[in-house]
């Protein structure tokens, strides 16, 4: 079976990966046949060897493959066809690509049946509002209409940031309805997030300062999961800005945030940003599916960038 997830909404792609992984682990608890490859870092040969090898235990194999279009897409297409992976029931291959993509022969193959393909386009404003209401409800809390509008107007339409802020507000409120004044207290006052110091340091390739910014945030009470979400939000905004800098107003970001994005964007290439986002998504998945030390893992992520 092949599942192809693509598009610009990396948050919902990540949620889909976690959903599939959770279902897989419920049926295949050993975890020995769950592997992940990213062609920003891994070689084609590594993936081919893993996909060809037989399982040592009677469990279905799950392979997550990111950035499949970064290398020889013709070789991948030839391999998928030769192994008949679309029809096999002993393996699930999830192929993921973020952002813009080239509609090559591999892409045309992946979107055809029997493959399961899904395009994750950025949500429109009204869809984000609906998503936010549903997400806050899943955490046992709710917003007044005025509070929700204010939250979205200050955080933009990026689901990574909204996820982080809604969780923070839900923890603060512990049930009940969140008012606009409570959003103002916890969100607007946080526009000076040390996340900007972190991304500024990363942009200038200063890992020492980046780690100092991280430890300052952690010592100030920020949770590693929240910081990871904010970092993803910042990287996504940088990617969106670099794709169309002449229409930065379309990002609908707070002026302070937009200025920080503008300052940092010139230090990153699109490939660098995509590679960082891919690592963030891997770590976010690890946070949810393993018992690793979150602070240590986040520190390692920053030191490797």
Read off the CATH number of the domain in which 93 is found: 3.40.50.300
Are both 148 and 103 inside the same structural domain? no
Q: Which two tokens stand for residue 271?
A: 């490939």
Choosing from 75, 93, 120, the residue where a domain stops is 120
Residue ending a domain, choose from 65, 96, 120? 120
DSSP state of 179: -
Higher pLDDT, 206 or 260: 206
Provide the token pair at 250.
């379309």
pLDDT of residue 189: 46
In terms of domains, do 132 and 39 share one? Answer: no
Residues 95 and 238 in one domain: no
pTM: 0.67
Six token digits for residue 277 = 């986002």
**DSSP string covering 220-240, please?**
TT--HHHHHHHHHHHHHHHHH
Same domain? For 153 and 288 the reply is yes
Q: What is the count of structural domains for the chain?
A: 2
Q: Are residues 151 and 72 in the same domain?
A: no
Say if residue 8 is in the same domain as residue 137.
no
11 and 144, same domain (yes or no): no
Distance CA 130, CA 118 (A): 20
Does the structure show a pLDDT above 80 at 191? no
CA distance 115 to 219: 46
58-82, pLDDT tens digit by residue? Answer: 778 899 998 888 878 888 999 999 9
**Surface-to-core class of residue 198, CB atoms within 10 Å of its CB (0-12 exposed, 13-18 middle, 19+ buried):** buried
Regarding whether 144 and 70 lie in a shared domain, the answer is no
Look at 288 and 267; give whichever has higher pLDDT. Answer: 267
Residues 104 and 130 in one domain: no
**Residue ending a domain, choose from 120, 136, 159:** 120
Q: 111 is in which domain, residue-wise?
A: 2-120
Mean pLDDT over 179-192 rounds to 70
Q: What is the CATH number of the domain that holds 249?
A: 1.20.272.10
Residues 85 and 147 in one domain: no
Residues 156 and 32 in one domain: no
151 and 41 housed in the same domain: no
Strand partners, 2: 93
Token output for 238: 């940088």
HSE toward the beta carbon, residue 279, CA cutoff 13 A: 20
**pLDDT higher at 216 or 181:** 181
């Amino acid at each position: 079976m092949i599942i192809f997830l693509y598009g610009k909404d990396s948050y919902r792609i990540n949620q889909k990966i976690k959903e599939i992984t959770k279902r897989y682990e419920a049926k295949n608890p050993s975890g020995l046949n769950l592997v992940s490859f990213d062609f920003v870092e891994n070689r084609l040969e590594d993936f081919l060897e893993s996909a060809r090898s037989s399982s040592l235990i009677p469990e279905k194999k799950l392979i997550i493959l990111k950035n499949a279009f970064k290398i020889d897409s013709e070789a991948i297409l030839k391999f998928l066809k030769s192994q008949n992976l679309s029809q096999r029931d002993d393996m699930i291959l999830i192929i993921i690509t973020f952002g813009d993509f080239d509609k090559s022969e591999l892409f045309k193959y992946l979107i055809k049946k029997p493959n399961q393909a899904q395009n994750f386009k950025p949500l429109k404003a009204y869809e984000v509002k609906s998503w936010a209401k549903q997400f806050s409800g899943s955490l046992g809390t709710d917003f007044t209409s005025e509070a929700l509008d204010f939250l979205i107007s200050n955080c933009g339409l990026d689901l990574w940031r909204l996820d982080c802020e809604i969780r923070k507000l839900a923890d603060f409120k512990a049930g009940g309805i969140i008012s606009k004044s409570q959003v103002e207290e916890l969100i607007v006052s946080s526009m000076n997030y040390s996340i900007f110091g972190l991304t500024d340091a990363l942009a200038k390739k200063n890992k020492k300062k980046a780690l100092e910014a991280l430890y300052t945030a952690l010592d100030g009470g920020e949770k590693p999961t929240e910081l990871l979400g904010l970092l993803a939000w910042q990287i996504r905004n940088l990617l969106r800005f670099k794709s169309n800098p002449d229409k930065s107003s379309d990002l609908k970001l707070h002026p302070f945030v937009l200025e920080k994005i503008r300052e940092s964007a010139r230090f990153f290439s699109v490939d660098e940003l995509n590679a960082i986002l891919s690592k963030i998504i891997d770590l976010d998945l690890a946070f949810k599916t393993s018992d690793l030390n979150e602070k240590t893992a986040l520190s390692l992520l920053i030191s490797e960038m």
